């Protein structure tokens, strides 16, 4: 098995933090309010690999036992759009929705839309009660999240501020930083309930990271990231903050003792900075609205989108490096339009200049700016324009050659940009995003083939590009790793629902890679070598090249 594992995008704090937060007796007790504390779990759901809202996937105990030693820890304040229907015109009141249901209007309109073949409109009509704020929506939220009612009520209140919540989750993570602790494993096999001891360290600088990985056999490194610029840009009342406030918050992040390595700029809802890609399936769209700025471009007012991107990457208006901390940008959840503008107006001109200086023997002092695709899959299409053109087709059954062809996934153009920037793609372990429509029918070997197929889909884009040299093509094998999205409430690969299954996934992947012979130079590079790179080395090397300097 690989020496260790890295996960480019996971949420080791999200499961416990959101179950303990807003419960005063727990929050006030340091012995209970920390990431190693025992959390409730449905072992029956875990054993079946069901939707991961009722069991944890990557606690520090699980990661220690599973040798996941490089955890890119995403701090993610939950967006209010999940809890309050954002499209006010379609939400209505609970009383009004109840009256329509009791009068028969809802049933009639649902039937009419089904006859017309408009399944999505029929679903929206049928689920009108769940769009309106009321007891049924609250009950649905509690059933899905398993959060305490006090937590759910806080999340929809005006006291809930994303910026403050980010700092609260950060402090929660720091509670056991560097301390030897123990926690109970939640596993689908006979080791469930076993106590595991370990230590995690929130990484401050690259030397600490190097000493930890190369000088320890088991300690974990937590590398900080943020999922969603709503943390920076959206106020408690859900208005967009002034650009100056956003820039001040970015500056504040760059003074942190523990650097933020990257930010997933977009998430599920409008952040006033860039457009987001559709991420919610058909049934969810009937009760959750992503409409505001979905599939739109960077925000052009005040040059807001580009200004934020330049500030994060520490570039001036002419795309020159300022020489201070960078916060890398993760393209996951960005709309294809926003990605296209990001590439055209920042990444491509920056790389053109960078590569010209290299060719002239005047290499820049800093490494290239790498693109991060932290937890994505292959869309099976050629270009961002194709993704843009196909937005109206994005329903549950929209696949191209069995790939999930939504704009939330990577097209060929994205992959070539990531390769050129020497970036990294974390392959997600969410079955829907990976293109699986009937996960319950798959066995363990078939789930491994789903992951293998994602690898080959990405690699094939590069190897069939005749404009690239052989050595350049081989570099795509440096751009792949795991980006599970564990504990992000995903619907996981049922055979591999937690970090404890990574060994089994890699064992199955070994056989699949070996069967490919020297296709894509697999035999030339070596199967065991590729497994080490995929499992942890590619992510580790990215950190060694790009982990920001500590604040002075």
| 3-state SS track over 431-458 | CCCCCCCCHHHCCHHHHHHHHHHHHHHH
pLDDT for position 164? 98
Q: Do residues 89 and 209 touch, judged by C-beta distance below 8 A?
A: no
pLDDT exceeds cutoff 90 at 116: no
Which pLDDT belongs to residue 199? Answer: 98
Domain edges within the chain: 5-77+162-546, 88-150
Domain topology for 5-77+162-546: TIM Barrel (3.20.20)
Distance CA 472, CA 474 (A): 5
pLDDT higher than 70, residue 354: yes
96, pLDDT greater than 90:
no
What average pLDDT score do residues 524-548 get? 97
Query: Which pLDDT belongs to residue 127?
Result: 60
Task: Give residues with Cβ within 8 angstroms of 359, minimum separation 6.
Answer: none
Query: Which secondary-structure segment (H or E) carries 399?
Result: strand 399-400
Confidence of residue 440 (pLDDT cuts 50, 70, 90): confident
Task: Give yes or no for a contact between 14 and 147, defined as CB atoms under 8 angstroms apart.
Answer: no
- Which helix (H) or strand (E) covers residue 48, if one does? helix 43-48
Percent of the residues in the chain that have a pLDDT greater than 70, as a whole number: 90
Instruction: Answer whether residue 506 shows pLDDT above 60.
Output: yes
pLDDT tens by residue, 264-310: 999 999 999 999 999 999 888 777 889 899 999 999 999 999 999 99
pLDDT, tens digit, 9 for 90 and up, residues 158-203? 999 999 999 999 999 999 999 999 999 999 877 888 999 999 999 9
The whole-number pLDDT of residue 132 equals: 63
pLDDT at 547: 96
Q: Which pLDDT does position 178 carry in this prediction? A: 98
Query: Distance (Å, rounded) from C-alpha 552 to C-alpha 543?
Result: 20
Q: Residue 492: beta bridge partners?
A: 430
49-85 residue pLDDT tens: 999 999 999 999 999 999 999 999 999 999 999 887 7
Higher-confidence residue of 225 and 284: namely 225
How far is 271 from 253, CA to CA, in rounded Å? Answer: 18
> Are 521 and 75 in contact, with CB atoms under 8 Å apart?
no
DSSP assignment, residue 220? Answer: E
Do 263 and 330 meet the contact criterion of CB atoms below 8 Å apart? yes
Question: Cα separation of 131 and 250, whole Å?
Answer: 34
Distance CA 240, CA 246 (A): 9
pLDDT digits over 366-416, tens only? Answer: 999 999 999 999 999 999 999 999 999 998 889 999 999 999 999 999 999
Higher pLDDT, 109 or 534: 534
CA distance 178 to 36: 12
pLDDT of residue 552: 43
Tell me how long the chain is.
552
The pLDDT of residue 145 is above 90:
no
Residues 357-370 have a mean pLDDT of: 94
């Amino acid at each position: 098995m690989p020496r260790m594992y890295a996960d480019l995008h996971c949420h080791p704090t999200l499961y416990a933090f959101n179950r303990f937060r807003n419960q005063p007796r727990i929050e006030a007790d340091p012995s209970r309010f920390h990431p190693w504390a025992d959390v409730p779990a449905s072992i029956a759901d875990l054993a079946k690999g069901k939707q991961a809202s009722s069991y944890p996937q990557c606690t520090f105990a699980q990661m220690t036992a599973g040798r996941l030693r490089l955890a890119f820890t995403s701090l993610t304040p939950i967006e209010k759009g999940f809890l309050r229907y954002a499209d006010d015109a379609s939400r209505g009141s609970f009383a009004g929705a109840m009256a329509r249901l009791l009068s028969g209007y809802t049933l009639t309109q649902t039937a009419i839309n089904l006859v017309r073949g408009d399944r999505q409109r029929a679903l929206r009509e049928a689920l009108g009660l769940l769009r309106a704020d009321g007891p049924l929506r609250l009950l649905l939220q509690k059933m899905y999240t398993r959060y305490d009612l006090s937590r759910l009520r806080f999340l929809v209140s005006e006291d809930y501020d994303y910026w403050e919540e980010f700092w609260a989750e950060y402090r929660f993570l720091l509670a056991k930083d560097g301390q030897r602790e123990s926690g109970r494993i939640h596993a689908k096999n006979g080791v469930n309930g076993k106590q595991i001891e370990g230590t995690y360290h929130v990484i401050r600088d690259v030397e600490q990271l190097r000493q930890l990985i190369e000088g320890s056999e088991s300690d974990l490194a937590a590398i900080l990231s943020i999922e969603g610029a709503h943390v920076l840009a959206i106020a408690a009342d859900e208005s967009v903050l002034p650009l100056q406030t956003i820039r001040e918050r970015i500056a504040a992040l760059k003074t942190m003792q523990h650097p933020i390595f990257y930010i997933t700029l977009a998430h599920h809802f409008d952040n006033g900075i860039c457009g987001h890609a559709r991420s919610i399936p058909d049934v969810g769209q009937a009760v959750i609205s992503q409409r505001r700025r979905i599939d739109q471009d960077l925000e052009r007012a005040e040059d807001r989108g580009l200004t934020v991107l330049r500030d994060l990457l520490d570039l001036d208006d002419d795309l020159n490096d300022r020489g201070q901390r960078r916060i890398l940008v993760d393209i996951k959840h960005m709309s294809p339009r926003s990605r296209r503008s990001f590439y055209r107006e920042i990444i491509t001109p920056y790389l053109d200049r960078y590569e010209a200086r290299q060719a002239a023997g005047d290499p820049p002092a800093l490494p290239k700016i790498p693109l991060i695709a932290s937890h994505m899959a292959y869309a099976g299409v050629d270009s961002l324009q194709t993704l843009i053109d196909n937005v109206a087709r994005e329903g549950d059954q929209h696949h191209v050659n069995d790939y999930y062809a939504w704009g939330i996934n990577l097209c060929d153009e994205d992959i070539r940009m990531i390769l050129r920037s020497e970036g990294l793609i974390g392959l997600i372990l969410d079955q829907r995003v990976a293109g699986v429509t009937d996960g319950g029918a798959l066995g363990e070997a078939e789930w491994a083939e789903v992951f293998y197929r994602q690898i080959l889909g990405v690699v094939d884009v590069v190897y069939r590009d005749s404009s690239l040299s052989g050595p350049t093509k081989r570099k795509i094998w440096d751009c792949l790793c795991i980006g599970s999205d564990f504990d992000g409430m995903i619907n996981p690969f049922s055979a591999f629902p937690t970090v404890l299954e990574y060994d089994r996934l890699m064992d199955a992947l070994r056989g699949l890679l070996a069967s490919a012979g020297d296709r894509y130079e697999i035999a030339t590079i070596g199967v065991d070598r590729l497994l080490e790179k995929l499992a942890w080395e590619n992510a580790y090397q990215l950190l060694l090249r790009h982990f920001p300097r500590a604040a002075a």
